[in-house]
Each structure stands twice: as structure tokens, then as C-alpha cells.
């Protein structure tokens, strides 16, 4: 590899890293803006707060409280994957409710998955 090729490679890696850092900084700033210091749980990680940052605040705080209270019951807080799964379930249920409300005669969706038909 010539010096100019090496320089181009290093410059490209630096630019990619800089973009990633800017996105990361912006994301952290957004999460910090949503969850002011007084709203953050010191027993949960930043990633927990980040996962629920897209929800409306009361719902996000309720999920964070559930994640934290699990530690009192089970001795460990919810893993990020469990919290993310709860967020996905909430979003799926909201979509189903919106579809049912729009049609006026929507199906009962309480125990149904999006990709499957009714349970038998």
C-alpha cells in the first residue's frame, strides 16, 4: 500500500469515526433532554433510558419503573433485551388499536400477534 493509499484509508476511517461520534453525541443529548436528571433512575443504565426514549414520557417512566422494580423482586433488573421487547409489544398494540379505531369494527387483538391469524 502506497503512502497516499494509506493516507486515504486513515482519512476515511477518521471521517467514519467522526460521524459515528456526532450521531452518538446527538443521541445522548436527546436522551438527556428527555430524561432530566431528576427523572433518571440511578439503578438502571443509560441504555435502559435510551431504549424507552422514543415513547411518551409517562409510558417510558412506567416501563423504567417496572425494569427497576424487577430487581427488588427477582434480585436483578430487566436486561436491555427484555425492556426492548416490552417497547415492541407496546408499539405493536398501539398499531393494532389505531387500525381497529380507524375501521370502527376492529378485531379483538389482545392475544394476537401481528404476523399470525387468530389463535386456535
Q: Can you give the three-state secondary structure of 3-50, one letter per residue? A: HHHHHHHHHHHHHHHHHHHHHHHHHHHHHHHHCCHHHCCCCCCHHHHH
Segments forming the whole domain that contains residue 95:
3-103
Confirm whether 110 is domain-assigned: no
Confirm whether 64 is domain-assigned: yes
Confirm whether 118 is domain-assigned: no
For the whole model, what pTM was predicted?
Answer: 0.63
Confirm whether 70 is domain-assigned: yes
Cell numbers that stand for 87 in this block: 417497547
Quote the percentage of the chain above a pLDDT of 90: 30
**Under 8 Å between Cβ of 86 and 63:** yes
Q: How many domains does the chain have?
A: 1
pLDDT score, position 60: 95
79-111: pLDDT as tens digits: 999 999 999 999 999 888 888 888 875 555 555
Amino acid at each position: 500500500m502506497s503512502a497516499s493509499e494509506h493516507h486515504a484509508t486513515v482519512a476515511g476511517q477518521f471521517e467514519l469515526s467522526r460521524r459515528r461520534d456526532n450521531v452518538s453525541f446527538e443521541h445522548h443529548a436527546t436522551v438527556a433532554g428527555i430524561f432530566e436528571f431528576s427523572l433518571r433512575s440511578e439503578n438502571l443504565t443509560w441504555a435502559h433510558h435510551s431504549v424507552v426514549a422514543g415513547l411518551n414520557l409517562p409510558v417510558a417512566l412506567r416501563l423504567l419503573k417496572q425494569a427497576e422494580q424487577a430487581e427488588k423482586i427477582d434480585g436483578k433488573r430487566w436486561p436491555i433485551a427484555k425492556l426492548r421487547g416490552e417497547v415492541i409489544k407496546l408499539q405493536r398494540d398501539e398499531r393494532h388499536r389505531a387500525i381497529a379505531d380507524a375501521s370502527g369494527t376492529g378485531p379483538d387483538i389482545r392475544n394476537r400477534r401481528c404476523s399470525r391469524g387468530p389463535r386456535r
